[in-house]
Amino acid sequence: MHSTENHNPKSKPIMVLGTSSGAGKSLTVTAICRLLKNLGEKPIPFKGQNMSNNAWVDWNGGEMAYSQALQAFACGIVPSSEMNPILLKPQGDSTCEVIHLGKSMGITTAKDYYKDWFNPGWEVIKNSINIIYKSNKNCRLIIEGAGSPVEMNLIHRDLTNLRVAKYLEANCILVTDIERGGVFAQIIGTLELMKPDERKLIKGILINRFRGDLSLFEEGKKWIENKTQIPVLGIIPWLDDKFPPEDSLDLLEKKRYFTNPEIKVGIIKLPSISNFSDFDPLENEDSILIEWVMESQNLNQFDFIILPGSKQTIKDQLFLNESGLSKDIKDYSNNNGNIFGICGGLQMLGTILEDPFCKEGSRLTSEQSIKGIGLLPLKTIFLKNKITRQINSESIWPKLTKINGFEIHNGTTELDMNSKGNLKIKHIFKDSDLGWYKENCKGGSIAGTYIHGIFENDDWRDNYINLIRKTKNLPISAKKSRSYKIKRESIINNLANEFNKHFNISLLLN
């Protein structure tokens, strides 16, 4: 299945396939993107289909996976939904929302997906590749596969691995994770299950997450090369990477980086959590320790609590009620607590959630109107269409400063006129529908915003954290924390430098 389109890019695409999910494809693509940018090339990331609730919104209001946005930053370019033309957002009960070229197309079950969406999906992937090549002369696509390319029960309907590799005649590398064990079987088994025309696209093998002395694997490397007749392009040592996890289950495995935390944050681990990259800037603060809260407990050990975004707000509100966490959060607010909600978290802090079109989980629960936690006098009604857009605004609280980020949500939120707390609530931003706050009765604050990426705004984040420090009687921090975006750049550079030391990329570029 060779490309019938007139692509003929000057620079052959590079594709990163993995022997399994979690083999390190995403980080490998990120590293290659930065290495090629440093070599003066024009790399552009691409992943035909991604399944994730960790999303980004481009400047046209199109949704895409955050991992491809991060890879675009590594290329030094603006993320765009063509880089991830199909995004599947799981919402439980074997269903997911289908997003094509940034726009929501509807809901499907896993069973119906390949019947109804395979052909339109392949068309949207080809269309996106054409759009990228038309508007970016002399670029080189750096493509990420998904899972394993040889799931034999799915291979006939796999949109995003070998089908894309053959369509673009890409130079492919096979990445495997030695930390999992069985690395020889993973490599040989994956290659053995490929057809000859697929196998010939594999130009190199990359071994990821090696612990200890690399020279100890020299015999293993020779054995792999003799057996496969494919060069091992590199053995990447174990890296203490601080990259956003692709899947919310990985949150529990994230290492905690801190020396002497002064502030402890509890983030409620909702079953349908979304956009957990919102918290990466807090992970990078030396003085802050993050813990995930999954069950009812006394929350007073935390200096502030965050309610994150949710793909199924009503379903997650019912989880909070049933688990006892709603009561814990109320008790915490009565005890001078600082609470911050983002997107679905903001909605849950309000008094009423109405879901007339069954968009936010009421389809699974038969409750189309339920009470929120009730700490902010706000009412949310979920509408048919989603709001997705980039935001440039100014904050009023905790300081007057410029803000950017993005919105992804169903529903509109307004003051609940039947609630007693109306007079005490104030706007966080000059755009009045982006966020609200009120002072807690004995100190502390309860606040919420629709803006994802709010903590990436360094000046705003510093001032919010200083509010928390004040409630703890800690000295106000006068020094500016290091810019998160600059820190993200240095993390990407460090990743690329490690790959540069251990990975022979030149074999892929010819």
Q: Are strands 95-100 and 103-109 parallel, antiparallel or unpaired?
A: antiparallel
Most confident residue range from 224-233, 254-263, 361-370: 224-233
pLDDT band at 4 (very low <50, low <70, confident <90, very high): very low
Kindly give the interhelix angle for 484-502 and 66-75, rounded to the nearest 10 degrees. Answer: 80
Q: Is the pLDDT of residue 449 over 50?
A: yes
Is 452 assigned a catalytic role? yes
pLDDT band at 360 (very low <50, low <70, confident <90, very high): confident
Please check whether residue 12 is in contact with residue 169, taking contact to mean a CB–CB distance below 8 angstroms.
Answer: yes
2 C-beta neighbours (distance < 10 Å), count: 9
Q: What one-character DSSP code corresponds to residue 82?
A: G
Report the SS3 class of residue 398: coil
Q: Token digits for 64?
A: 């895409």
Region 70-93 average pLDDT: 95
Catalytic residue, candidates 100, 139, 172, 452? 452
318-345 burial by CB neighbour count: b if 16+ within 10 A, else e?
A: bbbeebebbebbeebbeeebbbbbbbbb
Q: How many CA atoms lie within 13 A of 289 on its CB side?
A: 13
| Residue at token pair 């093998």 | 205
Q: Which of 312, 307, 311, 261 is nearest to 286 (CA)?
A: 261
Is 172 assigned a catalytic role? no
Please check whether residue 44 is in contact with residue 133, taking contact to mean a CB–CB distance below 8 angstroms.
Answer: no
Summarize pLDDT for 155-199 with one digit per residue, the tens: 888 999 999 999 999 999 999 999 888 999 999 999 999 999 999
Q: Token digits for 373?
A: 């936690």
Report CA 392 to chain centroid distance, whole Å: 21
pLDDT the model gives residue 154: 85
Name which of 4-18, 420-434, 438-452 the model is least confident about: 4-18
Q: Which of 484, 428, 66 is nearest to 282 (CA)?
A: 484
Query: What is the rounded distance in angstroms from the CA atom of residue 487 to the CA atom of residue 77?
Result: 17
Catalytic residue, candidates 33, 96, 172, 343? 343
Q: Which class for 423: exposed (0-12), middle (13-18), buried (19 or more C-beta within 10 A)?
A: exposed
Please check whether residue 265 is in contact with residue 290, taking contact to mean a CB–CB distance below 8 angstroms.
Answer: yes
Q: Which of 432, 446, 454 is nearest to 350 (CA)?
A: 446
Name which of 47-51, 225-229, 276-280 the model is least confident about: 276-280
Q: Token digits for 281?
A: 């800037």
Region 390-417 average pLDDT: 96
Query: What is the rounded distance in angstroms from the CA atom of residue 278 to the CA atom of residue 54?
Result: 9
Report the SS3 class of residue 69: helix
* CA pseudo-torsion sign 235, 238, 242, 243: positive
186-225 burial by CB neighbour count: b if 16+ within 10 A, else e?
A: bbeebbeebeeebbebbbbbbbbbbeeeeeebeebbeebe
Please check whether residue 303 is in contact with residue 409, taking contact to mean a CB–CB distance below 8 angstroms.
Answer: no
pLDDT the model gives residue 256: 56
Q: Is the pLDDT of residue 448 over 60?
A: yes
Name which of 41-55, 273-287, 380-394 the model is least confident about: 273-287
pLDDT the model gives residue 6: 53
Domains, the chain, in order of start with CATH, read 14-242+491-509 (3.40.50.300), 263-473 (3.40.50.880)
361 C-beta neighbours (distance < 10 Å), count: 28
Averaged confidence pLDDT in the chain: 91
Question: Which string of DSSP letters, residue by residue, matches 141-178?
Answer: EEEE--S-TT-TTTGGG--SSHHHHHHHT-EEEEEEEG
Query: What is the rounded distance in angstroms from the CA atom of residue 401 to the CA atom of residue 191?
Result: 54
- What DSSP element (H or E) covers 89? strand 86-90
* CA pseudo-torsion sign 266, 24, 235, 180: positive
Q: What is the pTM of this model?
A: 0.93
Please check whether residue 314 is in contact with residue 362, taking contact to mean a CB–CB distance below 8 angstroms.
Answer: yes
pLDDT band at 508 (very low <50, low <70, confident <90, very high): confident
Query: What is the rounded distance in angstroms from the CA atom of residue 172 to the CA atom of residue 25?
Result: 12
3-state helix, strand, coil in the chain (%, to 5): 35, 30, 35
Q: Is the pLDDT of residue 138 over 80?
A: yes
Q: Token digits for 32?
A: 């290659």
Share of the chain above pLDDT 70, in %: 93
Query: What is the rounded distance in angstroms from the CA atom of residue 475 to the CA atom of residue 487?
Result: 24
